[in-house]
């Protein structure tokens, strides 16, 4: 018996098993180990280490379930389905067979086991595990059908997992992980494109413990004829799921799809497959093919019903994801068409960018604007309508157009224009809340320039001098628009040094769940200072790549202005 010496991984003294276990002999075909109350191995017999193909040092201190316990195809077993682990919670002995442990070389060992609670130290309990390897005559005959309780668990997991995302690519990845290797060695997903063609979106195989995409087998498929009686053609037309094998494609092919399917069976070595249509709410979205090549046994009718149910749930998830992405594209297209062309002003250089959110629900509220006023003074605008998606995009368009109209109507200070806009947002437009900066870039009596602006609740502009010094223009911050409060706003004014760069941005550039807003602004200031002499055209892209947090999927609008030296 070998035990963990010194201190454990967390610096605690090692637990000590019961004395009777410490003197347990090493039976020739029986392995045993002891876990503490957290499931970590604290004692292991020499025979157990030999059977598991691991040095004792690799076992001691490790979580026994995570390290060893696997499903029949080598997949990790959720802790909630581990009877061995439940002994630690229930405090009662248990036994079982037809479980699998993973050896050190990655191979699987079928085992029968008995586990019982025991005392492992003063006032502490753990469990002792006895196991032995099953020979072929003792193993389950098969690739028999999955037990009913496991089927229900898989369907519940499918529903939970596939509805957790509204991204088509993630939905496909999750679908493949659910069925390979638990149901099949191969998963093939064929989907209709928006143009009505069929594309092989995924061909995935399990190699060792990794899912590998066979990109050479993916890509566009030939047209699917309505008269074809081949299994995949029928599934793509929405006919019920069917079992298939390479023999179905040995005769003369009736279509180009049949030729591709024959090549698929040859390349993958699948000897049995089940093919089910992937149906959305209104249309057939594609087909799911699960195939077996490495494991014995063919798919059964019961398996086919399960695959059909999984494909139906996948279809609903994909349908939702596609609708969501279509809505995202509409919002993004609307947003981009509303963003303006930058004016040409002698002596000034301007650049702008807009990056949509990764999530469709976050697209729509951010905008920038730049135009010449009636007196030929350049005006700069950056803003963000609170809310997302099409409502925010529509509200943004109204606020943007109203601001332009007010700015052209009268030659007023920025604060007066923003005050009038505030009243319109609260009483006319109906948009809930919005932030905005409206600025005039004015010539001074000499060759220089000054900035006069009004800030309604927006992140402050960043001024970057030619020598790299950078500071935020935080003077006279005002209340955001749409609150209904009658506030007298005042202008802020600052001189713009020669060669300086002014950056207006929205909060998607600096906000993160992982750090404070002040930390995000400080990060922006430091990186912007290091980019002071970079060409303005690439400045926005550099700031996005360096500053935008990975966990912030909001959209970002940015407007840059550079003065002559």
Q: Name the CATH superfamily for 148-328.
A: GAF domain (3.30.450.40)
Residue 388 is predicted with a pLDDT of 59
CA distance 320 to 318: 5
Predicted structure pTM score: 0.51
Q: Residue 243 is encoded by which pair of tokens?
A: 């079992």
Give the domain ranges of the chain: 2-133, 148-328, 339-562
Peptide bond into 181 cis (omega under 30): yes
> What's the rounded Cα separation, in Å, for the pair 280 and 316?
5
pLDDT for res 16: 41
| Confidence (pLDDT) at 387 | 66
| Predicted confidence (pLDDT) per residue in 544-561, tens digit | 889 998 877 778 999 999
Q: CA-to-CA distance for 190 and 201, rounded, in angstroms?
A: 6
Where residue 336 falls among pLDDT bands split at 50, 70, 90? low
Residue 56 has pLDDT above 50, yes or no: yes
For residue 140, the model assigns a pLDDT of 44
Whether pLDDT at 10 is above 50:
no
CB of 198 closer than 8 Å to CB of 190: yes
For residues 57 and 116, the model is more confident at 57
How far is Cα 38 from Cα 79, in angstroms, rounded to an integer? 12
Helix axes 301-338, 168-179, angle to 10 degrees: 160
| CATH dotted code for 339-562 | 3.60.40.10
pLDDT digit string, tens, across residues 429-477: 665 688 999 999 999 887 789 999 999 999 999 999 999 999 999 998 8
User: Residue 143: which pLDDT band, with cuts at 50, 70 and 90?
Assistant: very low
148-328 shares its CATH topology with 339-562 = no
* SS3 sequence of 370-425: EEECCCCCEEEEEEEECCCHHHHHHHHHHHHHHHHHHHHHCCCCHHHHHHHHHHHH
Q: Is the pLDDT of residue 210 over 90?
A: no
Q: Write down the CATH number for the domain with range 2-133.
A: 3.30.450.20
- Whether the CB-CB separation of 92 and 80 falls below 8 Å is answered with no
State how far the Cα of 314 lies from the Cα of 158, in Å rounded to an integer.
8
Tell me, rounded to whole angstroms, the distance of Cα 320 from its chain centroid. Answer: 16
Extract long-range pairs of 471-476: CB within 8 Å, 24+ residues apart: 471/525, 472/521, 472/525
**Distance between CA 191 and CA 197 in Å, rounded?**
8
Give the residues across from 3 on adjacent strands. 43
- How does pLDDT run across 349-399, given as a tens digit for each residue? 999 988 877 654 455 578 899 999 999 999 999 999 876 556 666 778 788
Average pLDDT, rounded, for the chain: 84
Nearest to 506 by CA among 342, 355, 329, 338: 355
Cβ atoms within 10 A of the Cβ of 500, count?
22
Q: Buried b / exposed e across 282-296, counting CB within 10 Å, b at 16+? A: eebbbbbbbbbbeee
Distance, in Å, from the CA atom of 484 to the CA atom of 164, rounded to the nearest integer, reads 38
């Amino acid at each position: 018996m070998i035990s963990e010496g010194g201190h454990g991984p967390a610096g605690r003294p090692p637990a000590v098993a019961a004395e009777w276990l410490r003197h347990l002999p090493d039976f020739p075909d029986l392995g045993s180990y002891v876990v503490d109350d957290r499931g970590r191995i604290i004692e292991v017999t020499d025979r157990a280490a030999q059977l598991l193909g691991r040095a004792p040092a690799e076992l001691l201190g490790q979580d026994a379930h995570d390290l060893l316990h696997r499903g029949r195809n080598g997949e990790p077993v959720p802790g909630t389905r581990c009877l061995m682990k439940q002994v630690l919670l229930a405090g009662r002995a248990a036994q079982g067979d037809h479980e699998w442990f993973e050896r050190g070389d990655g191979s699987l060992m079928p085992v029968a086991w008995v586990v019982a609670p025991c005392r492992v130290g003063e006032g502490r309990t753990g469990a002792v595990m006895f196991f032995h390897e099953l020979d072929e005559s003792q193993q389950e005959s098969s690739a028999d059908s999955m037990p009913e309780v496991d089927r229900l668990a898989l369907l519940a997991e499918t529903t939970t997992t596939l509805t957790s995302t509204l991204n088509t690519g993630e939905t496909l990845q999750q679908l493949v992980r659910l069925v390979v290797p638990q149901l099949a060695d191969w998963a093939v997903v064929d989907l209709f494109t928006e143009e009505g063609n069929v594309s092989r979106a995924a061909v995935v195989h399990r190699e060792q413990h990794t899912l590998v995409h066979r990109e050479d087998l993916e890509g566009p498929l030939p047209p699917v004829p309505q008269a074809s009686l081949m299994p995949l053609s029928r599934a793509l037309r929405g006919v019920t799921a069917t079992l298939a094998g390479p023999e179905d494609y040995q005769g003369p092919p009736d279509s180009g799809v049949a030729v591709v399917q024959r090549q698929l069976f040859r390349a993958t070595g699948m000897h049995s497959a089940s093919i089910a249509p992937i149906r959305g709410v209104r249309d057939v979205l594609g087909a799911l093919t699960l195939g077996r090549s490495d494991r014995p046994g063919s798919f059964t009718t019961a398996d086919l019903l399960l695959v059909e149910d999984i494909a139906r749930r996948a279809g609903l998830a994909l349908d939702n994801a596609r609708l969501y992405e279509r809505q995202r594209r509409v919002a993004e297209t609307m947003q981009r068409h509303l963003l303006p062309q930058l004016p040409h002003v002698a002596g000034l250089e301007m650049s702008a960018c807009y990056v949509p959110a990764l999530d469709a629900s976050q697209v729509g509220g951010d905008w920038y604007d730049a135009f010449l006023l009636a007196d030929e003074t350049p005006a700069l605008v950056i803003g963000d309508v609170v809310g997302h998606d099409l409502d925010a995009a529509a509200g943004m368009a109204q606020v943007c157009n109203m601001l332009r109209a007010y700015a052209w109507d009268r030659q007023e200070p920025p604060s007066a224009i923003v005050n009038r806009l505030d009243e319109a947002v609260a009483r006319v437009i109906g948009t809930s809340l919005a932030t905005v900066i409206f600025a005039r870039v004015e010539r001074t009596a000499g060759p220089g320039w000054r900035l006069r602006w009004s800030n309604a609740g927006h992140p402050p502009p960043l001024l970057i001098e030619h020598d790299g010094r950078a500071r935020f223009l935080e003077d006279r911050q005002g209340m955001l628009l749409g609150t209904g409060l009658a506030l007298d706003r005042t202008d802020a004014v600052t001189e713009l040094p020669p060669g300086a760069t002014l950056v207006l941005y929205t909060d998607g550039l600096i906000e993160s769940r992982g750090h404070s807003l002040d930390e995000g602004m400080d990060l922006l200031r430091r990186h912007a200072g290091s980019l002071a002499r970079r060409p303005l055209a690439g400045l926005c892209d550099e700031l996005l790549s360096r500053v935008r947090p990975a966990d912030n999927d909001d959209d970002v609008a940015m407007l840059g202005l550079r003065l002559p030296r």
